[in-house]
Amino acid sequence: MEKYQKKAILYLVIASILWSIGGLFIKLVNWNPIAITGARSGIAAIVMLLY
């Protein structure tokens, strides 16, 4: 496998783990759905700004 292909697979595995953890935490948090959506959007905006 090429170097970039291994890196891509690693990133996909990390993304799937984070996606699953995110779903678990959403079930554990007892917030209004609009508040959860706002928090997720805020985090995404910060990540995109840093990138």
Per-residue pLDDT of the chain (51 residues), as tens digits, is: 688 999 999 999 999 999 999 888 888 989 998 999 999 899 999 999 999
The pLDDT of residue 26 is 86
Task: Give the model's pLDDT for residue 3.
Answer: 84
- Cα distances (angstroms) measured from residue 15 to each of 2, 23, 24, 35, 46: 20, 12, 14, 23, 17
Our count of domains for the chain comes to 1
First-residue to last-residue Cα distance in the chain: 27
**pLDDT value at residue 43:** 93
The domain in which residue 23 lies consists of 3-50
pTM over 0.75: no
